[in-house]
Structure 1
Amino acid sequence: MRVWAVGLVGLLVASAATGGYLIRSERDGDATSYDGPAPVVAVSPSYPVEPLDLLPDPDFPPLLASLPMRVEIVGSKPFDLRLEVPGEWIRTESSASEWKWHPPPGDVLNTYFLRVRLIGNQHGGVEGMVESRIEALADAQGVRDFHLESQDTDRFVANYVSEGHRRVTMETFVTQPGADVVFASIGLVGREVDRAGMTDLIRRISDSARVGPDYRNP
């Protein structure tokens, strides 16, 4: 009796398997036998991407090359910095260690400006400070679509979108005399149409920059 029962169960299992295969074969003419697991082509997940709508740049004259310059000194002795800035630009003080210059009539939003920060109290090496600044800018709130265009030992160029406008930034870092410690950062921010003038101006400003003891004792 037990042998008969076992045989009956086996027959039922086999019939069920065969019946399932026949049903699938009738429903799907392309069905094939299963040969075990095999790798398949991965499909990248789809993430919702917010469209990047750029606003038109302000109708303001492009930054020109070869602007007349004047000498400015920021900070207090012996922690001061001497540099040349565009002669007609207007100076404002953002904080005790940050200054900005804008073309007249003043702070025209989303055009171009110069920013100088004294950061010697951070005691950072130049290469590390450049990397930190790039990371901070790329992750800054309100900054979108960040692109690092070029990077050197003490400077970089990037572009990004802020408040709906494409911005170009060129930043360079001034070291303390005889040391690889950053004393100041010089940043020039503008529009794509200002790029040629910015390239000329940031070079002239950075070449003129001298830390206090350096320019007082040439």
Structure 2
Amino acid sequence: MHVTMNVNGEEVTGEIEGRLLLIHFLRDHLGLTGTHWGCDTSNCGTCVVWLDGEPVKSCTVLAAMAGGHEVRTVEGLERDGELDPVQRGFMECHGLQCGFCTPGMMMTARALLDRNPDPSEGEIREAISGQICRCTGYASIVRSVRWAAAHEAADREPADHEPADREPADHEPAPQKPVVLEPATDVTSGATP
């Protein structure tokens, strides 16, 4: 069968079998190997791409089902030679070790930040809960997403204004908060001297 879809902003066409999965169309027909294929059971989430702006596991979508729709892969995160803040965050905060789950994590993280520009750690963990990372323990992935969120917020701030609640990058010293000393309490009487 003949299929046409928009992939990373370009119209692509191909002759495919009706049973071909989107992951295989992207990797084998289009050569977009950034999207990884992992478990074959839709559990690991390494194959996450966007279908009409929504993250989907491309091992559960037939290529024919994507016909006429927009698909965005990890290769589509970079714009005009500039890495997406999520990609930069994964580099700055060491959000990857083996890198196998990284493309799917990045696509999910980008979708999260598009919906919620300042997610909490819990919200980040919930967003990536459908994906498995066997190396990092997730802490560095969460830090990477927070880094991206903080740097996108800083980019939205006027140049002469430093946001008060911006998290510093790993290489920046943390801002020092003033120490407020409470009056000492006399342990024997409970009175303040």
User: What TM-score results when the alignment is normalised by the length of structure 2?
Assistant: 0.23
| Greater share of residues in strand | 1
Bigger Rg, structure 1 or 2: 1
**Bigger RCO (CA 8 Å, 6+ sep):** 1
